[in-house]
Amino acid sequence: MEKKKISILGAGGAGACAALELSQRGYSVDLYEEGPIPIRKASYVNEGKIHVGFIYAMDRDLHTAKQMILGALHFISNLKRWIDIKPEDVISTPFNYCVHRGSLMSPTELASHYQECIKIFNTYKAVYKKSYLDLFDSIDANLLTNKEADKIVNSEFFDAVFSTSEYAVETRAIANQLTEALYANPSINLILNTRVMSVERSGSGLIIKGNSKGVQIEEKYPIVINATWNGLLEIDKSMGVELPKAWSYRYKYGNKILIPITPDNLPSCTMVQGPFGDTVNFKEKGAFISWYPIGRAGWSEECRPPEWDSMFSDTERHNIFNSSFKELTKRVPALGNLAFNPNNISPVGGVIYALGNTDVDKHDSKLHTRSDVGIRSYGNYHSLHTGKYTLIPYWAVKIADRIEGLS
């Protein structure tokens, strides 16, 4: 029996997971990627936080918290459909939520929001019979005493610190496992170095048009999934899909320090609520640091963002790292005790696509929410906006369900 044919555009995290899921359901997948290697952009370089809603306190209706908790409960269990992953090997130390001076919300407001997230988590856990990261049956957020907080951060910069049971995963390790699974799967045909520019209807099918190493290509498919990130709106527009009223692409640096560290060497900290930063301790897999006022190095409201990856020299990338490191060390002194050399750092930027075009330093910024995401289907053309890394495995299964008429 001939396998059903499908085209997926974009071999980032979403496209890769969708391809692996659909291949298990009997599809032959042509997976297009404009780069030379799958999963080497946003899903490779970001922080990897598996959100339980805490950071989205500005969404007072809790829509984003609910979405994130849903994704978090399915994250590891869905990944296990495609790769042999041991969550304890890839998770960070738990996050401290550090309320920065000038926060858009007070510690009291944040404490109330965290408790609402915990209630939602408990409800969803009971409904879906799943645990957080396949490891934890509960989440918490506890206000630390001043003495406890002083061991974590420089209190000159913070009004309060909450210890939480939220974690990140090491995205590079997961990307490498997913990439191996793609190459090993005989039902997935990886078409690399190929940028798809448009999709058009042709009878009952869809024609994709693009460029592969300077050669124009055209291929017809019965079903197309647009799982690109940078090209999502550009390709949707070519299909006549109505675009959102407002959106933005940001280019943000996530800096890796590639040395093994112990759990006690560096606290994992998220600084809230506004344009601040993070430190993440991935133990033997190193550390991640990001300081938003410096690391947010690009902004675009075009249908497709600039090719930012090629626009920064090595010197500029290292300057971003050094400046970010300096600011974060003022706030998390333990960071300054890490011993490493320039060969141990990897300052790499990634694109963030989101609805809204006002930055996160404003109370009314739509970037404080991520609830208006998911699948938009137009017959046999499907556009997938995952919203956050947390949601990728969840939406990968859901889009396969949609194609099979199960949702």
Quick: pLDDT tens for 170-181: 999 999 999 999
Please tell me the CATH superfamily of domain 1-48+170-244+370-407, with its number: FAD/NAD(P)-binding domain (3.50.50.60)
Predicted confidence at residue 1, as pLDDT, reads: 58
Sign of the torsion formed by the C-alpha atoms of 397, 400, 402 and 404 = negative
Q: Which residues of the chain have pLDDT under 50?
A: none
Contact partners, residue 129, CB within 8 Å, separation at least 6: none
B/e letters for 285-316, b = 16+ CB within 10 Å, e = fewer, are: bbbbbbbbebbbbbebeebbbeebbeebeeee
Find, among 83, 96, 103, the residue nearest to 150 by Cα.
96
Predicted model pTM: 0.97
* Complete DSSP assignment for 93-144: PPEEEEEETT-SS-HHHHHHHHHHHHHHHHHHHHHHT--BTTTBS---EEEP
Cα separation values, 233 from 13, 43, 246, 356, Å: 18, 18, 11, 14
Predicted confidence at residue 332, as pLDDT, reads: 98
Predicted confidence at residue 290, as pLDDT, reads: 97
The domain segmentation of the chain, as residue ranges, is: 1-48+170-244+370-407
Find, among 195, 194, 190, 193, the residue nearest to 180 by Cα.
190
Quick: pLDDT tens for 287-307: 999 999 999 999 999 999 999
